[in-house]
Structure 1
Amino acid sequence: MRKASRLFEIIQILKLSRTAVTAQSIADQLEVTVRSIYRDIAALQAMRVPIEGERGLGYILRPGFDLPPLMFTVEETEAIMLGLQMLERSGDNSLMRSAESVNRKIAGAVPEPLRRSLQSSTLYAWGSPPQMPKDFELEQVRTAIRNEQVLRIDYRDDRGEASRRMIKPLALIYYVQTVNVVAWCELRQAIRNFRSERIAQCVTQERFFKGEGDRLRALWTSGWANAAVKAASI
């Protein structure tokens, strides 16, 4: 997690808590070291965020402090809540945890009448989750996409043939039955779709393709237009 995101998360954790929160508790939630939390708290205090407390006892956010709110209408909030429910059936564990966190933040930020309306659970997204990889989390792929970092995968195609590929991951497509990894395949020298449940191993490499991601995604999406033109001409 980047520092800016972590500072925001610390403020949210303190804002939603009714009691003092220890640095260890915050570190556990954000999956960082306690030392990092101490540094972050000091940085926030230096920015005049009214955090009170000390090491070993816990921290509180003085009442009255808040970040500029994002104001949503009822319809917009319901759209967000339905989207979060759909994430919960995606099968992606880290996205499911993030959806729960967003739910809590929205509940803590909206006015009481709207909170009661949202908690009445009138919108549902049902269905079985798609097949997921067994040996790694899709969070690893999303991180590589953001960082524009090469992955090495061991892949088995629909004929059962195994191969090892070096790929530049570009996007994830969440279908009902599966999740596909869209990537530039160095073996084929072309963009390919890999079904995630057929990936036996995924290893992040110390190689990057900084600045290439947008160009490769544009190449990928341009193929959609070409396919549409061909279909229209038949």
Structure 2
Amino acid sequence: MSRPDRLFELIQTLRAAPGPRTAQDLATALEVSPRTIYRDISALQAMRVPVEGAAGIGYVLRRGYDLPPLNFDTEEAEALRVGLAMLMRTGDGALVRAGRRVRDKIDALHGPATWLHVAPFGAPMDDPGLGCVPVAQLRQAIREERKLRIDYRAPEGETERVIRPLVLIYHVEVKMLAAWCDLRADFRHFRIDRIWGCETLEESFAGQGDLLRSLWAEREGAEKVAGGAA
């Protein structure tokens, strides 16, 4: 998370808090260190954001301070709430946490909508404690066009591959990673729940991502047409 985004998140977290929040609480919520929170609080105060409090006691945002409102009408806000709730089905822990932060911003501006519920059943959460690869690591590698070395446990056996990750596909009960496989010199799909080891390599494929995704999309479209005509 960039510093401007973190400062925005910090303001929103303080706005939504019913009382003072300690630096440790804020650090946990934003996944940074308390020292970073102290620096960010000082930066906000220097920008005349009315944050009051002290280390060891807690911080509050003085009433009346607000950020520009989100320009969503009622149905747009409800569409966002339902879509954010459905992130639970992806099993992507980082996206779920980000969705909760967005939901809190919407609640702060429009009030909560306790009557909207979405069943959370879907793909299992990517819990690193269970040996699962964090989907956030895969998304970051796609954005940065960095190669990955993965340990993949398919039904026919375990294999190690170096891949160029291209597309994440969230199915109802499983997540898939579409990638260019250096070993096979072709596109391959990997079930994320079968990736039991993942290392982001220094080697990059910068500038190739869009072209490879375009070729992958053409291949997928052709296969779907062929499958439908069979």
Global fold match (TM > 0.5): yes
2:77, 2:42 → 1: CA distance? 34
Query: Secondary structure in 1 aligned to 2:90?
Result: coil
CA contact (8 A) 1:131 1:177 kept: no
Alpha-carbon offset, residue 24 of structure 1? 1.6
Could you say which residue in structure 1 is the equivalent of 2:178? 182
Give unpaired runs (5+ residues) of structure 1: none
Change (3 A) 1:57 1:130: closer
**Equivalent residue, structure 2, for 1:129:** 123
TM-score (norm 2): 0.85
Q: 1:58 to 1:210 in 2, by over 3 A?
A: farther
| Letter matched to residue 180 of structure 1 | M
Change over 3 Å in CA distance of 1:221–1:28 after alignment to 2: same
State the distance in 2 between where 1:130 and 1:60 align: 37
Measured against aligned partners, the alpha-carbon deviations of 1:85-136 in whole angstroms (never above 9, x if no partner) come to 22112222333333333322221111x5xx3xx2123x53464435968522
Task: In structure 2, give the amino acid aligned to 1:72.
Answer: F
Normalised by the length of structure 1, the TM-score is: 0.84
Q: Given that residues 131 and 178 in structure 1 are in contact (C-alpha distance below 8 angstroms), is that contact kept between their aligned partners in structure 2? A: no
Runs of 4+ in 1 over 6 A off after TM superposition: 231-234
Q: Does the CA contact (< 8 Å) of 2:177 and 2:192 recur in 1?
A: yes
User: Could you tell me how far apart the structure 1 residues matched to 2:30 and 2:139 are?
Assistant: 18
1:155 and 2:152 correspond = yes
Query: In the alignment, what sits opposite 2:26?
Result: 26
CA distance in 2, matches of 1:233, 1:18: 59
Corresponding position of 1:82: 82
Query: Quick one: which amino acid aligns to residue 99 of structure 2?
Result: A
| Residue 200 of structure 1 pairs with residue 196 of structure 2 | yes
1:58 to 1:79, Cα distance in 2 relative to 1, 3 A: same
Contact 2:89 2:172 in 1 (8 A): no
Aligned residue number for residue 120 of structure 1: 115
Change (3 A) 1:215 1:50: farther
Supply the AA of the counterpart residue of 1:177: E
Identity of aligned residues (%): 45
1:176 Cα shift? 1.9
Letter in 2 for 1:69: P
C-alpha distance in 2 between matches for 1:168 and 1:212 = 9
Query: Structure 2, unaligned stretches of length 5 or more?
Result: none
Determine the C-alpha separation between the residues in 2 that align with 1:69 and 1:191. 44
Q: In the TM superposition, what whole-angstrom CA distance separates every residue of 1:39-71 from its partner, at most 9, and x where no partner exists?
A: 222222233322222322222222222221112
Output the CA distance in 2 between the equivalents of 1:37 and 1:143. Answer: 24
Q: Partner residue of 1:210?
A: 206
Contact kept, 8 Å, 1:82 with 1:125, in 2: the verdict is no
Partners in 1 of 2:120 and 2:22 — Cα distance? 37
**C-alpha contact 1:153 1:202 (8 A) present in aligned 2:** yes
- 1:15: Cα distance to partner? 0.9
The one-letter amino acid paired with 1:99 is: G
The aligned residue for residue 171 of structure 1 is 167
State the number of aligned residues.
Answer: 227
